[in-house]
């Protein structure tokens, strides 16, 4: 396993492209499943859109956030959640591979184990979520009246990636608990359901909940703090400014935790 870390970025990019092509070929051979699952993803997100519409028919604002600003946060969270949906979906299978013993096959290849395992699955239905999220962002962007400049679009991309890192890190850490916990599926489900709170501003939470969702289970960084850079550029909180650095650190820690589990599995066969 020592030689797996010396490979360059170019090697992994080329390898991932080959794996992705094969995975997509396999999925496209079952086109009905692809169409149904993508349609299901779009309808799920549409239901969230309708929920917002109904909510704001009764309440014009929520803690100072109007309909279009809340819709922007919702669209932002959908786009930010797309990478974990598309590229890291195999984390859901980790516990089954570990319990069955089949995970051992990933430990004997001259590539990074995390990369090898994660790259095997690309969840194409996440593209439906991406399309809906981008559409929601554009719709709310227009109604809010935000300007469109190169710098703003660049900030949007950077902070969407930043937001993604937090959710990816949460799911990496949750999945890796299977190396120590028998019923780790519950941890995965709970962490994934926390994503529903990402579409709400952290300002609506108070006391212990605000602390938990900011510093312990940082759902507030999946949309709220990164989006403020776009929505309120003249009054950006310190946590929004620090979010790119914090996202990288959080992702790195989750990766190290995941790999710690791999070493435990590799050496003990558990």
DSSP 176-219: HGGGT-TTTHHHHHHHHHGGGGGGS-GGG--THHHHIIIIIS-G
b/e map of 196-234 (b: 16 or more CB within 10 Å)? ebbbbbbeebeeeeeeebbeeebbbbbbbbbbbbbbeee
What domain count does the chain have?
Answer: 1
Q: What pLDDT was estimated at residue 1?
A: 43
pLDDT in tens, 139-195: 999 999 999 999 999 999 999 999 999 999 999 999 999 999 988 889 999 999 888
Beta-carbon contacts of 61 under 8 Å, excluding residues fewer than 6 positions away, are none
Q: What pLDDT was estimated at residue 268?
A: 52
Asked if 174 and 258 count as a contact pair (C-beta separation under 8 A), the reply is no
Q: What pLDDT was estimated at residue 29?
A: 66
Give the rounded percent of residues in the chain with a pLDDT score beyond 90.
50
Q: What pLDDT was estimated at residue 18?
A: 81
Q: What pLDDT was estimated at residue 128?
A: 83
Q: Region of 163 please: left (phi>0), alpha (psi -120 to 50) or beta.
A: alpha
Tell me which H or E stretch contains 142. helix 126-144
Beta-carbon contacts of 64 under 8 Å, excluding residues fewer than 6 positions away, are 203
User: Which segments of the chain have a pLDDT < 50?
Assistant: 1-5, 270
Asked if 19 and 116 count as a contact pair (C-beta separation under 8 A), the reply is no
**Structural domain harbouring 113:** 2-268
Tokens of 6: 């010396």
Tokens of 193: 């359901």
Cα–Cα distance for residue pair 156/230, rounded to 1 Å = 7
């Amino acid at each position: 396993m020592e030689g797996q870390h010396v490979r360059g970025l170019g090697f992994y990019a080329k390898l991932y492209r080959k794996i992705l092509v094969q995975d997509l070929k396999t999925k496209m051979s079952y086109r009905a499943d692809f169409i149904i699952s993508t349609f299901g993803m779009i309808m799920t997100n549409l239901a969230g859109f309708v929920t917002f519409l109904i909510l704001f028919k009764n309440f014009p604002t929520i803690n100072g956030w109007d309909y279009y600003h809340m819709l922007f946060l919702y669209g932002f969270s959908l786009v930010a959640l797309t990478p974990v949906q598309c590229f890291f979906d195999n984390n859901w299978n980790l516990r089954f591979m570990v319990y069955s013993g089949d995970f051992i096959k990933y430990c004997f290849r001259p590539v990074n184990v995390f990369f090898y395992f994660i790259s095997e699955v690309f969840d194409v239905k996440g593209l439906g979520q991406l399309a809906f999220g981008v559409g929601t962002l554009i719709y709310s962007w227009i109604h809010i009246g935000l300007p469109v400049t190169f710098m703003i679009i660049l900030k949007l991309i950077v902070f969407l990636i930043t937001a993604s890192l937090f959710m990816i890190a949460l799911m990496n850490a949750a999945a890796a608990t299977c190396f120590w916990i028998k019923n780790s599926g519950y941890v995965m489900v709970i962490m994934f359901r926390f994503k529903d709170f990402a579409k709400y501003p952290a300002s609506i939470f108070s006391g212990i909940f605000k602390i938990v969702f900011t510093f312990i289970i940082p759902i507030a960084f999946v949309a709220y703090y990164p989006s403020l850079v776009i929505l309120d550029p003249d009054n950006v909180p310190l946590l929004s400014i620090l979010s790119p650095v914090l996202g990288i650190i959080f992702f790195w820690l989750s990766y190290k935790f995941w790999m710690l589990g791999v070493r435990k599995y590799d050496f003990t066969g558990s």
